[in-house]
Amino acid sequence: MKLYWGDLHNHCGISYGYGSLENALKAAKSQLDFVSITGHASWHDMPERTEELEFLVDFHEKGFAKLADHWEQVRNTVAEANVPHEFVTFQGYEAHSSEYGDHHIVSLHDDFPLMEGDSPAHIIEKLGSKEVIAVPHHVGYTPGYRGGNWESFNPEISPIIEVYSKHGCGMSEDAPYPYYHDMGPRDPRSTIFEAIRRGHRFGFVGSTDHHAGYPGSYGDGRLAVLAEEKTREAIWEAIRARRTYAITGDKIQADFRINGAPFGSEIQAADARKLELDVRGCDTIDRITVYKNLKPWKIINGDEMNVSKPQSGKFKIRLEMGWGNAKDGYIWNGQVSLENGVLHDVETCFRGRSVLAPSPDMKEDPTLNELANEILEQSEQQVSWTCTSFKNPTTLHAHTAALILEVEGDVSSKLHIVLNGKEMSLTIGQLLEGGISTHLQPHNSEAFLVHRAVPEQAYTYQGEWTDEQAENETDVYHVEIRQKNHQFAWISPIFVNA
């Protein structure tokens, strides 16, 4: 089985988002293996229209009507984009619910009808024999204010829950990335930890909830699935089996097993449990926590993995571009050639223009996220690309673009970087000492940063333990991986019955 990367929940101009469906699919293909694009479809208990809520009620009603009017066309475009083994699409749409929380409804089938109901469960019921799931998202909001509803949670229709998106992280009360959108705070009663505490069984996923047609936008949430192959059926099977996990952005590769059964499994093991964890991150690992019944059971301190400085081997080097004041985007053209080394892998960290909800001053624009973000050429010696960065929205919120190069070589291996007219040559030896930045103009301009080189021992981890102690009727084990750059992975639980 292999890991595949996707986004199951995001929006564009097919309902009350921005940007065209075609550009959204193009953006998804550039960084992901699969996608579902989930136009807003309904809100059965929407607040009454008042003077204050005029804008809110209005954009929802118009958005729902727009999706309904074009549903046939949307479905056809999504169906045509599905090419087994190349890029996989799923049909889907979103149903809001103040009482039960918002869900995106995703289907295996192309003849998936648009349906409304008194709750997400009611919609699934009305869809009858269709193979569909309802994924609760931004669950951390206050109960009754579109947060998760653990009283009515049904794992049969919701095998997975979205734990991270542009809204923030809903894992627990003290998880990173609390909620700061105008929908309100993260409420401890709605968190994932609370759902597990109540005995619910489900897998973790991330997705962006992007509202301007840029599924997979870096840093906004993505999911990994462990599947037999890159087809709709195989990815669907993996989702049903909860072989999923959430990542914030960096494609942290992870495998977590108990007695050989992968994450998401439910197994029987009265006595010894053999835990295996294999992590291949994208930056220095800061901490890995294996949780048993929501309490840290094993804590791996990344600093202890990164003491010696290897002279040769594999290294990850991140090249980050952005800063400046270009609100409408700044285009980069770059090339890196490698001397005396091998370029094994290039991971892109591209972002679309960041939009989470409509605002009165935004106009519909199909080209909004028609961005030049792509790898143009890649070999074992060279990579060239084009990408777009934006002015950082606040000084604590990045809107940069980046590439992560995995290079094999030694301290003498040299990178020649050419980026928008600036040239630099740096050895891995220099980059092991620290990174270096360059500005394009004398003051307040775009700039780029070549981050320090991270040796393989600092971004990979393998662990094996035996747990002899059954604690409860069902013990729940899950893993959190945190990198120094504040990128996370939350690996779905394994449920072990005594």
Residues forming contacts to Zn ion in the complex (CB under 5 A) are 94, 209
How far does Cα 414 stand from its chain's mean position?
A: 32
Token pair belonging to 36: 């579902």
**Residue among 440, 446, 407, 401 at smallest CA distance from 426:** 407
- Is residue 285 a contact partner of residue 251, using CB atoms and an 8 Å limit? no
Query: Tell me, what amino acid is at 396?
Result: L
Q: Which is nearer to Zn ion, 19 or 264 (CB)?
A: 19
Query: Least Å distance between CB 183 and Zn ion?
Result: 11
If the CB atoms of residues 89 and 265 are measured against Zn ion, the closer one turns out to be 89
**By C-beta, is 78 or 479 nearer to Zn ion?**
78
Q: Which is nearer to Zn ion, 57 or 267 (CB)?
A: 57
Q: Which is nearer to Zn ion, 209 or 480 (CB)?
A: 209
Rounded to whole angstroms, the Cα distance separating 343 from 228 reads: 27
How far apart (Å, rounded) are the C-alpha atoms in residues 164 and 219? 10
Residues 368, 432: Cα–Cα separation, whole Å: 39
Q: What is the dihedral of CA 30, 33, 37, 38, to 10 degrees?
A: -140
Q: How far is the CB of 188 from Zn ion (least distance, A)?
A: 23
- Taking the complex as a whole, the smallest distance from the CB of residue 20 to Zn ion amounts, in Å, to 18
Q: Which secondary structure element, helix H or strand E, spans residue 192, and what is its range? A: helix 192-197
Tell me the residue type at 322.
G
Compute the least distance from the CB of residue 459 to Zn ion, in Å: 32
Measured distance CA(450)–CA(319) in Å, rounded: 5
Least distance between Zn ion and beta carbon 209 (Å) = 4
Please, which residue, 209 or 220, has the CB nearer to Zn ion?
209
Structure tokens at 101: 């929380």
In the bound state, the residue with its beta carbon closest to Zn ion is 209
CB of 9 to Zn ion, least distance (A): 6
Phi, psi of 285, deg, nearest 5 = -75, 130
Nearer to Zn ion, 15 or 172 (CB): 15
Closest CA to 486 of 252, 254, 307, 299: 252
Q: Which CB sits closer to Zn ion, 209 or 283?
A: 209
| Separation between Cα atoms, residue 63 and residue 17, nearest integer Å | 8
CA distance 34 to 230: 8
Query: Least distance to Zn ion from the beta carbon of 165, Å?
Result: 8
Q: How far is the CB of 38 from Zn ion (least distance, A)?
A: 6
